[in-house]
Copies of this chain bind each other. A is one copy, B any other.
Amino acid sequence: EILAAITALLAPAARPLAGRHALVTSGPTHEPIDPVRYIANRSSGKQGHAIAAALAALGARVTLVSGPVAQPDPPGVTVVRIETAREMLAACEGALPADIAVMAAAVADWRVAREAGQKLKKEPGAEAPSLMMTLNPDILATLSHHAQRPGLVVGFAAETEKVVEHAIAKRRRKGCDWIVANDVSGTVMGGDANTVHLITAAGVEDWPELPKGAVAERLAARIAAALA
């Protein structure tokens, strides 16, 4: 950290995001079914936390809104911990204004329509229940159309098939600027490497397989270049 501070003093050009505020989301959301059960997503938070750290390393002030993860807080980053998609949206809106938003969290699309106040009991002989789901707020679309819309809004698309095709459609539908798309049908979830495609208005870039830290640094550098 001391070394980073000295480097920054000697080479201000290495902090191209100084004075910028970046909002990053990371990790899964947990949507309660009852006091002891919940629906979750397989997201370790590794990629989102690495992006927060990479943006901070380029000089940005970073607010990281994170679901429940085992990742340590990136140094120098303000971390806001939440559980549900609704809490994540509220924390994101509370963090505005921001120049950059990178929505890397795996937000649950749905939550249970009626959360039970008591633990659901398995009654002997009874049928298993059906869980009626309802739509969660769409955080990426909400920020993309917000009165305080960040200048650059980056979404993520985790897909198990037709990765690029789905991501191009998602970029248009959500109204965000870029989509980072990846194929999660393999061992990406929880793993240390990631193969992503960057979808922008200009087209599709296929990045090579990289450690998640390197994906984060490359994305942060692209963001700095776009805002320069």
Interface residues, chain A, with chain B CB atoms under 8 Å away:
30, 33, 35-42, 70, 106, 108-110, 113, 118-122, 124, 128-135, 158-161, 166, 173, 184-185, 189
| Bound-complex Cα distance A36 to B182 (A) | 13
- Judge whether A110 and B129 touch: CB under 8 Å: yes
Quick check: B130 and A132 within 8 Å, CB to CB?
yes
Interface SS majority for chain A: loop
Chain B residues whose CB sits within 8 angstroms of the CB of A106 once the complex forms: 36
Contacts of A70 in B (CB 8 A): 70
Q: Is the CB of A158 within 8 A of B36?
A: yes
CA–CA, A41 to B166, complex, Å?
32
How far, in whole Å, are A132 and B127 apart by their CA atoms in the complex?
10
CB distance from A123 to the nearest CB of B (A): 10
Q: Is the CB of A42 within 8 A of B36?
A: yes
A129 touches B133 (CB 8 A): yes
- How many copies of this kind of chain does the complex include? 2
What's the nearest-Cβ distance from chain B to residue A81, in Å? 13
Instruction: Find A33's partner among B35, B39, B158, B173 (CB 8 Å cutoff).
Output: B39
Report A41 CB to chain B, min CB distance, Å: 6
CB distance from A223 to the nearest CB of B (A): 26
**Given A158-B36, A160-B36, A128 and B122 touching (CB < 8 A)?**
no
- How many Å from the CB of A84 to the closest CB on chain B? 14
- Taking CB as reference atom, which chain B residue is nearest A42? B36
CB <8 Å contact, B36 and A189: yes
Residues in B with CB closer than 8 Å to A135 are: 122, 128
Q: Do B35 and A185 have beta carbons less than 8 Å apart?
A: yes
Write the nearest CB–CB distance from A153 to chain B, whole angstroms: 19
Most buried by B among A122, A131, A135: A131
The smallest beta-carbon distance between A168 and chain B, in angstroms, is 15
A sample of 13 cross-chain residue pairs with beta-carbon separation below 8 angstroms, ordered by A number, consists of A35-B160, A35-B184, A36-B184, A36-B189, A37-B40, A37-B41, A109-B128, A118-B161, A119-B160, A119-B184, A128-B133, A130-B131, A130-B132
